[in-house]
A and B are shown apart, each in its own frame.
Chain A
Amino acid sequence: MSANTADSLFDRLEPLLMQVSKPIQYVGGELNARTKDWDSVSVHWALMYPDAYEVGLPNQGIQILYEVLNERPDALAERTYSVWPDLEKLLRLHGLPQFTVDGHRPVGAFDVLGISFSTELGYTNMLAALDLAQIPLHAADRDDSHPIVLAGGHAAFNPEPIADFIDAAVLGDGEQVVGAITDVIAAFKAEGSPGGRDELLTRLAETGGVYIPRFYDVSYRPDGQLAEVTPNRTRVPARVSKHTVMDLDEWPYPKTPLVPLAETVHERMSVEIFRGCTRGCRFCQAGMITRPVRERSIEGIGAMVEAGLAATGFEEVGLLSLSSADHSEIAPLSKQLADRYEESRVSLSLPSTRVDAFNIDLANEFSRNGRRSGLTFAPEGGSERLRRVINKMVSHDDLINTVSAAYSQGWRQVKLYFMCGLPTETDEDVLEIATMAQDVIRAGRKATGSRDIKATVSIGGFVPKPHTPFQWAAQAAPEVIDNRLRKLRAAINSDKSMGRNIGMRYHDGEPSLVEGLLSRGDRRVGAVIEQAWRDGARFDGWSEHFSFARWMSAADVAFTGQSVDVPFFTTRERDADEVLPWDHLDSGLDKQWLWDDWQDALTGYEQDDCRWTPCFDCGVCPTMGTDIQVGPTGKALLPVAAKR
């Protein structure tokens, strides 16, 4: 590959940077950034987070892969982010391509362009970057001189809507598979690249862990449903498996997190304390596709916090996971970290926590130095019936007891997260959110004796996702969601004695519908993405850039003459025997188990967590040849000495 020159474009970029907003985001040179000599390595990776720098820089996945790849003597990795429209315009005017922020090299010169999709709303930014990089949009039009365009991240568990634009996709944990891919490419180049791009992609497919969409043919039934997805050549597997790193302590990355000059969405250091979650919330794609639970040891966490703070100078450490209070040693871990950093100005935070009294104790531990501003809980569903449907087991009384404890211990504000548009949901379920918020205010007033108690309810639209029990569900139409939220707003405001104490934050239902189209779409949705991008769509995760009308008109154009439309992919409920676009992609979950769990949801039957109850056969452990990995280990955090 790499026929293009890889020389730095910085001299030509520099005059343009004086004319754009926040130019610091394009110059690289962050603390802990790496630059390696281009010619000293065989395999060159460009890693892209398809959103603005301020969102992409803190992304843990990119930072981990950047470090892992740059540690290899035979590879280098540089980063690239979406450029804002002001710079895109100037780059086009001056004939400059999408570039990396490390070496300011053209993205088209790399061997691999790896793009991490946390959300499907980044797809149009991928097209913008490919076009700016002067890489053909369609994989079929690329030749040996172009990078392999590789998708990863959670959205890659159904890459079918972007199948035309990517050469390859990987599912699951990236830190090991990027090494395996590098090995394949390095060997192929050392042999003189026999057979060109086609042979390289075949070798990657042969590993069983890299999905090459063009090697699979898709056929459709007259009613628009999928008929089948079959490999169109030998040497490629019928199903492609996800990757699972089993021992997190062997992968203590990022060791030296990037510290941006520019302001970003997370100004803190993050340490992932475990991966995976078996709480079994039926809406949660992350919990389903990252199984089994794998804990990092308390010693490993302590060492990462210590080394990371020394390497960055950050003031805050976030203990990251899908449900951080579920770490088997979270109590000793938080106490020992709080002891170690009590005298310093380092603060600790625990995102993603559940609703229970235990978490108040943890939160108190994390706020020893005084600040008790806000606590966040996520009941997700407004009524107990609905919470049984989604398998989020929190009773109304539990929640009220918990917030009472929080208010009485000095916490000033409680934030409650919910979703709207969940399967089986009625107006009454959503209206119960108002009741809950009002009970929270009453409990707070009682606990503190003060009328000045605040609570915020924050509501997101539910999007059914692949590889979850809700993958068959009908998504609620935007009008349904907007109507329910209007009624909820009226219910909250109706009680004058506390309406002012309850804040309500929500998004309207339209962006969720587009996300739903991109989440559960098949290859036919690719034409919609391309049309939307041609019509100007980019930064679709930003409300000021998103246009629902543009997406719907793009869908009208792209689906003309087809037997499918937007409702087919979104508001239509699927049957048990329907071939789903991602059935040939193996997340480890047994499809029959997912279906049974979907049926249990409809009858409000709850499923326990396999960490504390017997295995319920979701299928992941036997498929992956592994098991859940949890403590307690009974070990302690080292060093114990307090830091000032």
Chain B
Amino acid sequence: MQRIRLRYAKRGRMRFSSHRDFARAFERSLRRAEIPMAYSAGFHPHPKISYVGAAPTGVGSEAEYLEIALAERQDPEQVRAAIDAVLPAGLDIVAARDVAHCPAGSLPDQIHGSRWQLEFGDAADGLPAAVAALLAEETVLVDRFTKDGKRSLDARAAIVWASVSISNSAASNAGAPTGTEAPASAEAASGLGDESGPGRAILDMVVRQVTPTVRPDDVLTALQSVAGFAPSQPPRATRLAQGPIDEAGAVGDPLGITQFVNNQTPVGNR
């Protein structure tokens, strides 16, 4: 039995798919692509697939991971291409590697945190100050309402670093994040005369994987609670990377293909 680790992206409108939606589409795509899956034993055999921490519904991602087990040995790149070809556009399988060639340890063991990017619809005045205020705290408890009731979690402690930049086009990026400094948005936003109008604020951050998981929404709730920050409309969130975190706060790749992600980050294209 061969195990293949896959990295996939949820792009554009497909970020509105839930994890269950993705899982159904993925399993159908395995049948259409005629991948020789290994099946579980029992009365209702299921193809062997292990998922890890899926991005929330409505959040895009460039770095979701799963592993599949095959009954016959296959070329991982061919498997990747075959599945990708039959998935709806926007659910894209971007990389594949035989687990034997991946960094040691199980997939969940590789997931220490995520790098998130939150794009706001406008310059989001007050965001830099709010981020600074949040980072100045040691602990910020927020409530999340789940189907099991209200849960309280520490949204501050999980943040490794966070920075704010202003962009005039969705794809541009601020400089390399350096610790917890937050470039002030006021100057950037006042760069008038730009034909694209006032820029859009981008919050870039690395959040450690803890239990329960701290999501971008929880960080927004924390920003509201420490500084009263409330955007006019919810930002568009994208997971740029997920994996081990190095000393500089950069997030690595559980496939061991891409280097630790810093600057050259794709942004949710449509």
Contacts and interface: CB of A to CB of B under 8 A. Distances in A.
B13 A18 contact: no
Contact of A27 (B13, B25, B29, B31): B13
B29 A261 contact: no
B28 A313 contact: yes
Contact of A23 (B16, B25, B43): B16
Contact of A259 (B14, B16, B28): B28
A310 B32 contact: yes
B233 interface: yes
Interface in A69-102: none
B24 A10 contact: no
A262 B32 contact: no
Given A23-B58, A24-B21, A370-B43, A313 B29 contact: yes
Nearest to A13: B13
Contacts of B31: 313, 315, 345
A263 B21 contact: yes
Nearest to B43: A370
Interface residues of A, number: 29
B230 to A, nearest CB: 14
Contacts of A625: none
Interface in A24-41: 24, 26-31
A313 B89 CA distance: 16
Contacts of A222: none
Interface string B26-38: 0111111000000
B28 A18 contact: no
Contacts of B263: none
B175 interface: no
Nearest to B91: A261
B17 interface: yes
B147 interface: no
B194 to A, nearest CB: 20
A31 B233 CA distance: 30
Interface string A300-314: 000000000011111
A386 to B, nearest CB: 40
A19 interface: yes
Contacts of B58: 17-18, 23
B20 A263 contact: yes
Nearest to B32: A313
A262 B234 contact: no
A17 B16 contact: yes
A313 B25 CA distance: 9
B68 to A, nearest CB: 15
Contacts of B29: 313
A614 interface: no
A2 to B, nearest CB: 24
Contacts of B21: 24, 261-263
Nearest to B13: A27
A15 B233 contact: yes
B126 interface: no
Given A23-B57, A261-B21, A312 B28 contact: yes
Interface string A28-63: 111100000000000000000000000000000000
B121 A261 contact: no
Contacts of B90: 29
B88 interface: yes
A179 B57 CA distance: 40
Contacts of B27: 313
A10, A19, A345 interface centre (most CB from chain B within 10 Å): A345
Given A29-B89, A261-B21, A345-B45, A10 B28 contact: no
21 contacts: A15-B121, A18-B234, A19-B234, A22-B18, A23-B57, A24-B17, A24-B18, A29-B90, A31-B87, A259-B25, A261-B21, A261-B22, A261-B24, A261-B25, A261-B88, A262-B17, A263-B24, A310-B32, A312-B28, A345-B31, A371-B43
Interface of B: 13-14, 16-18, 20-22, 24-25, 27-32, 43, 45, 57-58, 86-90, 121, 233-234, 236
Interface of A: 10, 14-15, 17-19, 22-24, 26-31, 259, 261-263, 267, 310-315, 345, 370-371
